[in-house]
Amino acid sequence: MVAMFLHIIAHDVKNRVIQREFMRSGETIFRHFNMVLLAVIRLHDELLKKPQLVNSDCTYQRWRWVENCLGALDETYIKVNVPASDRARYRTRKGEVATNVLGVCDTKGDFVYVLAGWEGSVADSRILLDAISRPNGLKVSKGYYYLVYAGNPNADGFLAPYRGQRYHLQEWRGAENAPSTSKEFFNMKHSSTRNIIERAFSVLKGRWAILREKSYYPVKVQCRTILTCCLLHNLINREMTNFDIEDNIDEVDSTHATTAADDIHYIETSNEWTQWRDDLSEEMFNVWELRN
């Protein structure tokens, strides 16, 4: 049962192929697939990582400048199979029919929260707002934050890069492309650090071929499959001690715990948060200039 399930999600093998390889009926395969799928999801409390904040003792260069950061988040498109009447809502800007998946990871590249099911046409900021509004959604306490992409606002709990400035890592290659302002330097460091979630998504899709192409399962089952693949991603990272998305990252000792009263439930920019980002970028840039 488990072997069939893993074979399907790892290699995106169709039901008829599994029938031949495991000598089981199509109905049995589908039923066993869903049994294993739900069994793994029931282990989500065990397999989803608890976020750990970056503390003042962190010596790893990539994360040391973001004290009290919990990790990074981003959205990714995963192709889904939906009825013809729903395809317009699921169609992305590139014309693919997909669900827009929110993934949140810690500094090690393990997933701490996953939300799948939103249509591909929906804006990233709306999905993030839904995630923090849910009773069992993404928890972010005041004073802590995640690194987010420019598609989301720079707001309490979510540190975004400066818009209108260079951002992507390839834009900084070569001495002639070195940052010349505090905002550019901040964006360069932000991009380098937030890249952990992009690498987590890359490893996730590399491991599970079912996430790389359109699934023949109903969208509800496919969304459960996405969550299950993320949970198994964490399990593999935990058990494979010789594999690490981020080599030589420092262990962080402080576990992030929240209470409902302290959690952020809406996304709102503030002068204080904007000023804090400006102060941080100036401090980072000044230190870098002194060293160079």
Q: Would you state the pLDDT for residue 265?
A: 84
Per DSSP, 250 falls in state P
Q: pLDDT tens digits, the chain, 292 residues: what are they?
A: 899 999 999 999 888 888 888 888 878 888 999 999 999 999 999 999 998 889 888 877 789 899 999 999 999 999 999 999 999 999 999 999 999 999 999 999 999 999 999 999 999 999 999 999 999 999 999 899 999 998 899 999 999 999 999 888 888 888 788 899 999 999 999 999 999 999 999 999 999 999 998 888 899 999 999 999 999 999 999 998 665 555 433 333 333 444 444 788 889 888 999 999 999 999 999 999 888 7
Give the pTM. 0.89
Among candidate residues 283, 288, 270, 61, the one with its CA nearest the CA of residue 145: 270
Q: C-alpha dihedral over 4, 7, 13, 18, to 10 degrees? A: -30
Q: Would you state the pLDDT for residue 216?
A: 84
Per DSSP, 215 falls in state -
What phi, psi does 250 have (nearest 5°)?
A: -70, 145
H/E stretch holding 37: helix 26-41
Q: Would you state the pLDDT for residue 126?
A: 95
Q: Would you state the pLDDT for residue 29?
A: 85
Q: Would you state the pLDDT for residue 268?
A: 86
What DSSP letter does each residue of 49-77 carry, written as one string? PPPB---TT---TTTTTSTTEEEEEEEEE
Q: Would you state the pLDDT for residue 245?
A: 54
Residue with tokens 């290659």: 173
Among candidate residues 135, 125, 134, 123, the one with its CA nearest the CA of residue 155: 125
Question: Sign of dihedral through CA atoms 20, 26, 32, 34?
Answer: positive
For 193-240, the pLDDT digits (tens) are: 999 999 999 999 999 999 998 888 899 999 999 999 999 999 999 998
* Contact (Cβ atoms closer than 8 angstroms) between residue 101 and residue 211: no
